[in-house]
Copies of this chain bind each other. A is one copy, B any other.
Amino acid sequence: MALGTVSKVMNGIPVGEDYRRRVRQAAEKLGYQVNNYARGLKTNRTCTAALIVPSLSHPFFAALAHEVCQALTARGYRMIPFVTSFDPEAEQACIRMIRQNKVDGAIVLTYNPNLEVDPELPFVTIDRYFSATVPCVSSDNFGGGQLAAERLIERGCRRLAFLRTGSRVPGEADKRGDGFEGYCRSRGIPVESLRLNDGDGPELFAPFLRERMEGGKLALDGIFCSTDRLAYDICGMLAGMGVRVPEDVQIIGFDGMRKFGDADLYCSTIVQPVRKLAETGVDLLLAEDRSQLPAMVCLPVSYLPGGTTREPPEAGKELGRGQ
């Protein structure tokens, strides 16, 4: 058998099935291992991709890293995670390190609006639109905001509020509030908003809530929070004020995070399709033809009740609809 045939098999280039099987068997018998570093030098392909995220321990990023790792593994790739701790300079340093490590591409959850990316390096962003040449994958944040409004109004809410905390850097997640407010207005339902930034501290929401207490009762009956974490903090504040959830006010969060990663939801929530986000990101990153990639892919979200809303008796049926 020609050496070229062996090389083709070991590098995944199609040859006859019989050749492929014989080369694989011989390699196994000899204990032959591909040296990915030698291959990386020769082919300029390393079968590794970077994932740049603020943290690996925050549950949303942990779930995303888990799914990206699984999706890359299924395609024969290794994931190299880089942790930025929300530091724009650390993000830029990651981009430099990536060049040095010769990865085949990068999936990036960035908070640096001025990030200088290598035009040669395949690049996909999550949740943050960058430019027409960098595909962005995100949940349908606008539609998720609409869905939260629809669900609260269906459950009898008539005085609504949107509470938001998050990065100062504009991103796709900002559309959650736009979708929520737009839906409320289109139905003639009054809606108020308080939009804060990370670092402002959740305690700044307390005055907003206290100002809306009238005769020991909250003058709002439905609140949409921009994340499950914020919903959790708001529930704690309301408990301290003697306001009952969901009896006095119903609350919907966003993300679909679960306790211990796979147990109960923290609250009723708009669920992000984390696995689908990861798989779509990996598909776009590894696409053979990069001239035809979409600039933006928004994936559908769903509603799940998690104890902070009053579910109608037919909730079971509706759950299916929302999925």
A interface, CB within 8 angstroms of B:
33-38, 40-41, 46, 48, 55-59, 62-63, 65-67, 69-70, 73, 78-83, 96-97, 99-102, 228-229, 232, 257, 259-263, 266
Contact = CB atoms under 8 A, between A and B. Distances in A.
A102 B25 CA distance: 22
Given A229-B263, A260-B232, A101 B78 contact: yes
Given A56-B65, A56-B66, A57-B261, A33 B80 contact: no
A81 B69 contact: yes
B100 A59 contact: no
Contact of A34 (B55, B56, B100): B100
The 6 A-B residue pairs whose C-beta atoms are closest, nearest first, are: A62-B62, A56-B66, A57-B66, A37-B40, A37-B37, A57-B63
A264 to B, nearest CB: 9
A46 B101 CA distance: 10
Q: Which of A41, A46, A57, A261 has the largest number of chain B CB atoms within 10 A? A: A57
B99 A232 contact: no
Copy number of this protein in the oligomer?
Answer: 2
A101 B67 CA distance: 21
A261 B78 contact: no
Contacts of A67: 57
A121 B99 CA distance: 27
Contacts of A59: 57, 59, 62, 260-261
B70 A66 contact: no
A36 B36 CA distance: 12
Contacts of A33: 96, 99-100
